[in-house]
């Protein structure tokens, strides 16, 4: 069996899909590092919970939940949470923690956001995605995903997402996959411009964009809040 690297995909030497390569990479990463992000919720999750609670949101769809530190925070805060990811390894770790702590109101499901979301229309009050939109997704796939998020949100529902942006130190470095996607250390990131954020907000009410830092580099990110009209 031949192993395909991201370098092969970028150079056109193989037809392997970068998204599938990244999925395998995340599976291996979660398997080797089951607590790689720690157990405490991220700062965006704490902020999102406050925003969701202030408007009376009760049901949350999390996209890209990983091993679940943020999903667990939402559930502990009393929200009903459906935590999804394309890594069954990460979701298994999340379920084990939820079961061990007897956390209620949390379900999980494997979802690959490159395909239409297998969820009913107008079924959630809020959608949360911490760094999911800036994974190895093309601009076309991201636009399609935001349309799907609009579909599954109830009228007035909130989308809270975070993305690394073009002011980040890693932007323009590492393996260039095109479409503002650059790979460092095996992780491919789609860096967002402000124009792209504005384009994704067309047909929504854009409420706020905040710049923040996370991690040791530090990574530069935006948190974006927009509501469905």
- pLDDT value of position 31: 81
Predicted structure pTM score: 0.90
Distance separating alpha carbons of residues 52 and 70, to the nearest angstrom? 14
**pLDDT band of 26, cuts 50, 70, 90:** confident
- How would you list the strands of the sheet with 59-63, edge to edge? 106-110, 80-85, 59-63, 124-130, 153-164, 219-228, 204-214
Q: Could you give the percent of the chain with pLDDT greater than 90?
A: 82
Q: Could you give the percent of the chain with pLDDT greater than 70?
A: 93
Domains of the chain: 6-228 (3.40.50.150)
Distance separating alpha carbons of residues 24 and 6, to the nearest angstrom? 11
**pLDDT band of 128, cuts 50, 70, 90:** very high
Map residue 35 onto helix, strand or coil. Answer: coil
Mean pLDDT of the chain: 91
Mean pLDDT over residues 34-41, rounded? Answer: 79
Mean pLDDT over residues 45-57, rounded? Answer: 98
Which of 154, 139, 125 minimizes the C-alpha distance to 200?
139
pLDDT score of 13 more than 80? no
């Amino acid at each position: 069996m031949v192993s395909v690297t991201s370098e092969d995909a970028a150079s056109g030497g193989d037809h392997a899909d970068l998204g599938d390569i990244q999925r395998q990479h995340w599976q291996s990463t979660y398997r080797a590092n089951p607590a790689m992000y720690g157990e405490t919720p991220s700062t965006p999750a704490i902020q999102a919970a406050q925003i969701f609670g202030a408007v009376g949101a009760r049901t949350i769809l999390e996209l890209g939940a990983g091993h679940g530190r943020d999903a667990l925070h939402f559930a502990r805060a009393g929200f009903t949470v459906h935590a999804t990811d394309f890594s069954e390894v990460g979701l298994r770790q999340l379920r084990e923690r939820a079961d061990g702590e007897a956390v209620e109101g949390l379900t999980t499901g494997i979802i690959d956001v490159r395909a239409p979301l297998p969820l009913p229309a107008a079924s959630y009050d809020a959608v949360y995605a911490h760094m999911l939109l800036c994974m190895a997704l093309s601009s076309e796939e991201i636009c399609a995903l935001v349309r799907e998020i609009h579909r599954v949100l109830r009228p007035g529902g909130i989308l809270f997402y975070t993305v690394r942006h073009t002011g980040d130190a890693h932007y323009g470095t590492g393996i260039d996959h095109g479409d503002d996607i650059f790979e460092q250390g095996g992780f491919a990131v789609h860096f967002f411009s402000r124009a792209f954020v504005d384009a994704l907000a067309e047909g929504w009410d854009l409420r706020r964009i905040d710049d923040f830092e996370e991690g040791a580099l530090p990574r530069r990110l935006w948190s974006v809040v927009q509501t469905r009209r």
